[in-house]
Amino acid sequence: MAVTPTAELATAETFDLNTWMADRLQAVEQALSHWVVEDSPAGLGRAMRYAVLDGGKRLRPLLVLAASQSADTPNTEAAMRAACAVELIHAYSLVHDDMPCMDNDVLRRGKPTVHVAYGQAQALLAGDALQALAFELLVPEGGGVPPVLGAQLCLQLAKAAGVHGMAGGQAIDLASVGLPLTQAELERMHSLKTGALLQASVLMGAACGQVPARALAELAQYGRYLGLAFQVVDDVLDVVSDTQTLGKTAGKDANQEKPTFVSLMGLNAATDYAHHLLSMARAALDRSELPQVQALHALANLVGSRTH
């Protein structure tokens, strides 16, 4: 992918997702590499870097940065810290989710999973330390993030990651294997397991600047629909894609008798549903009447067209 380090936020007329994304992805990778340090006790930092760097679509950081750009006078330092914090939470959840006592997977982002590469104990600790680091990033010393904003970001992230967010959704997921969930139950599970952190990414980005309350409510809707669409696409890809393209084990959900949108609705209806959800996300953006939502629009398109 071409990188244009000096790319400025493009105007509506010239917005180019590839340029925007290349620029932001490079900045996110640099920031993650800077903050997840290798120098650490007993090699723990190496396992943490392995879990975080050189892989991942970085959808959550891109959502944070795109949402921050939709806000007025965004704090770019805070936005980059929030972008990396949500990615660290996502990365730790993958490390723990892949462990033998959970999904027991050996392949992630095309590489051996962390517990395969470093052992289960180190994987457990690396995940734990990544979660702590996520919160540490949001409240730096030295004034880069005003404390009022740092505290707000911590609260948003903690709620999205915790028992009434991601962790709770994973508990439902574990308890649902082999059970005939309704679509409403499946959507609740995913709204917590992946939706909460995706929606929080949008709202944390928006919190880094000024957004009118009515527009903020629409951004929350955008995040909700986008998060659900992301999961429906994930279920479709688990069926139609192969392990090499995905970078993780394909066909896993069906093998584990996990309920999915495809098993519930069929492949065609699930694909249609994903497109419907994305159109709802775009409609929410339009209703927000925020001037700078090109990147958020483009990320919705990206979710619809992704292959892994």
Query: What is the binding site for a copy of itself (CB under 8 A)?
Result: 37, 40-45, 48, 92-93, 96, 99-102, 119-122, 124-125, 127-129, 131-133, 135-136, 138-141, 145, 147-148, 150-152, 154-155, 157-159, 161-165, 167-172, 174-175, 192
Closest distance to a copy of itself from the beta carbon of 225 (Å): 21
Are 109 and 247 spatial neighbours (Cβ–Cβ below 8 Å)?
yes
Six-digit token pair at 103? 């999904």
Rounded least distance, CB 189 to a copy of itself, Å? 8
Q: How far is CA 18 from CA 4, 287, 299, in A?
A: 10, 25, 11
Residue (of 97, 74, 92) closest to 136 by Cα position: 92
> Nearer to a copy of itself by C-beta: 100 or 212?
100
Closest to a copy of itself by CB, 133 or 278:
133
Q: Give the whole-angstrom CA distance, residue 157 versus residue 138.
A: 10
Phi and psi, residue 112, nearest 5°: -55, 140
Q: Report the C-alpha gap between 145 and 139 in whole angstroms.
A: 7
Using the minimum distance from each CB to a copy of itself, give the nearer residue, 2 or 42.
42
DSSP letter assigned to residue 43: G
Read off the tokens for 26: 């490079």
Rounded to a whole number of angstroms, the minimum distance from the CB of residue 134 to a copy of itself is: 8
Taking the complex as a whole, the smallest distance from the CB of residue 296 to a copy of itself amounts, in Å, to 26
41 vs 291 by CB, closer to a copy of itself: 41
Residue 306: CB minimum distance to a copy of itself, A: 27
Residue whose CB is less far from a copy of itself, 182 or 268: 182
